[in-house]
Amino acid sequence: MFAGAAVVFISVMVLVAIAVSGPVTLRQSLANWSAIMWGGVAFPIVVLTALLLWGFFIVHDLRTEAAPPAVHVEISGEQWWWRITYRDPQGGVLFKTANELHLPAGVPAVITLMSPDVIHSFWVPALAGKLDMIPGRVNRLLVEPTRTGVYRGQCAEYCGGSHALMALVAVVHDRAQFSAWSARQSMPARDPLTEEEKRGRALFDSNGCGACHALRGTPSMGEVGPDLTHVGSRLTLGAASFPNNLGTLAGWISSAQHLKPGNRMPSFDRLSGAELRALATYLKALE
Ligand SMILES: [Cu+2]
């Protein structure tokens, strides 16, 4: 394309030079009707039509389905976090998670982007350019990560007050690690073992957390907020806004509105320190 454009550009410049300051006879031959029809009308039509057809081929190549063993991930931009669903090639749900996209290196991944509320934009610079998540539309992004590592992503379209706190972690594993990760994510929530964890689970139930959050394998099936089945395994909380540890978990539960103003989770600021510790201990154990 560059070579073709260079040839056309140089020819046009030569013609311009002739038209401006060439010998009179040459200038007259440029001005005649057939030169204009062939050079000015027929030539551009042929070249641009060829480029258009070629462009269709390229776009078609980009849209072809990735062959197995492609990974299929659906990401929904929410105010202000990322709902992530891993699907099998037929569209069945494998498992759900949030705010952390895991991919195997060297394997194509088909990422489906959508939004239930406002326009967000999915952007992990290490993986691909940004692509909007638009309510009522489905955008598809085909990526093939090459290098393992942990990368940062960010919502790249202003989506409301806490937009700046809508970041994302992308983890690229080698294939074996990715299989191990997805096998673990498919499992139901682990049962509480210690007394502290049991107290945490009881508090989770009695405070109605399950109305908004799912713990797969338990009666908690809420869909308003992130799936917490394996929240303890995540690196961050609140869409990559805070590191994930006992302190930030307790802090998030008691002060979600303070840490991320306007998000859909109320602050549970009437819980005591001991209750927050039990909840955090239980959630951190959900790996
Ligand atoms: Cu945003």
Structural domain boundaries in the chain: 2-63, 71-185, 195-284
Q: Is the distance from CB of 115 to CB of 205 less than 8 angstroms?
A: no
Tokens at 103, concatenated: 């991919």
For 195-284, give the CATH class: mainly beta
Q: Could you tell me the distance, in angstroms and rounded to a whole number, from the CA of residue 133 to the centre of ligand 1?
A: 10
Could you give phi then psi for residue 136, rounded to 5 degrees?
80, 0
Q: How confident is the model at residue 66 (pLDDT cuts 50, 70, 90)?
A: low
Q: Which residue has the tokens 């299989």?
A: 179
Q: Could you tell me the distance, in angstroms and rounded to a whole number, from the CA of residue 154 to the centre of ligand 1?
A: 8
Question: Rounded to 5, what percent of the chain is helix, strand, coil?
Answer: 40, 25, 35
Q: Could you tell me the distance, in angstroms and rounded to a whole number, from the CA of residue 115 to the centre of ligand 1?
A: 11
pLDDT in tens, 92-109: 999 999 999 999 999 999
- pLDDT at residue 65, as a whole number: 62
Q: How confident is the model at residue 1 (pLDDT cuts 50, 70, 90)?
A: confident
Q: Mapping DSSP to helix (H, G, I), strand (E, B) and coil, where does residue 71 land?
A: strand
Q: Which residues surround ligand 1, an ion (CB under 5 A)?
A: 120, 155, 159, 163, 166
Which contacts (CB < 8 Å, 24+ apart) does range 130-135 have? 130/156, 132/157, 133/75, 133/76, 133/77, 133/157
pLDDT, averaged across the chain: 94
Q: Could you tell me the distance, in angstroms and rounded to a whole number, from the CA of residue 82 to the centre of ligand 1?
A: 10
DSSP of 100-135? EEEEETTS-EEEEEEBSSS-EEEE-TTT---EEE-B
- pLDDT at residue 16, as a whole number: 92
DSSP type of residue 267: P
Q: Could you tell me the distance, in angstroms and rounded to a whole number, from the CA of residue 83 to the centre of ligand 1?
A: 13
Which contacts (CB < 8 Å, 24+ apart) does range 188-191 have? 188/216, 188/217, 188/218, 188/229, 189/215, 189/216, 189/217, 189/218, 189/228, 189/229, 189/230, 189/286, 190/285, 190/286, 190/287
Q: Could you tell me the distance, in angstroms and rounded to a whole number, from the CA of residue 145 to the centre of ligand 1?
A: 24
DSSP-assigned beta bridge partners for residue 217:
none
- Residue 44: pLDDT over 70: yes
Tokens at 268, concatenated: 């549970």
Q: Could you tell me the distance, in angstroms and rounded to a whole number, from the CA of residue 199 to the centre of ligand 1?
A: 36
**What architecture is the 71-185 domain classified under in CATH?**
Sandwich (2.60)
Q: Could you tell me the distance, in angstroms and rounded to a whole number, from the CA of residue 122 to the centre of ligand 1?
A: 9
Q: How confident is the model at residue 59 (pLDDT cuts 50, 70, 90)?
A: confident
Query: Looking at residues 138-163, what average pLDDT do you find?
Result: 95
- Residue 218: pLDDT over 60: yes
- Percentage of the residues of the chain whose pLDDT score is greater than 70: 97
- Residue 64: pLDDT over 60: no
Q: Could you tell me the distance, in angstroms and rounded to a whole number, from the CA of residue 121 to the centre of ligand 1?
A: 7
Q: Could you tell me the distance, in angstroms and rounded to a whole number, from the CA of residue 162 to the centre of ligand 1?
A: 8
Query: Model pTM?
Result: 0.81
pLDDT in tens, 225-240: 999 999 999 999 999 9
- pLDDT at residue 276, as a whole number: 98
pLDDT in tens, 184-216: 999 999 999 999 999 999 999 999 999 999 999
Q: Could you tell me the distance, in angstroms and rounded to a whole number, from the CA of residue 166 to the centre of ligand 1?
A: 6
Q: Could you tell me the distance, in angstroms and rounded to a whole number, from the CA of residue 41 to the centre of ligand 1?
A: 47
Q: Decide: residue 205, CB within 10 A, 0-12 exposed, 13-18 middle, 19+ buried.
A: middle
- Residue 62: pLDDT over 80: no
Among 94, 109, 99, 114, residue whose Cα is nearest residue 145: 109
Q: For residue 25, how far is the Cα from the chain centroid?
A: 62
* 71-185 shares its CATH topology with 195-284: yes
- pLDDT at residue 254, as a whole number: 97
Q: Could you tell me the distance, in angstroms and rounded to a whole number, from the CA of residue 119 to the centre of ligand 1?
A: 8
DSSP of 27-39? HHHHTSHHHIIII
- Residue 45: pLDDT over 90: yes
Q: Could you tell me the distance, in angstroms and rounded to a whole number, from the CA of residue 120 to the centre of ligand 1?
A: 5
Amino acid at 191: D
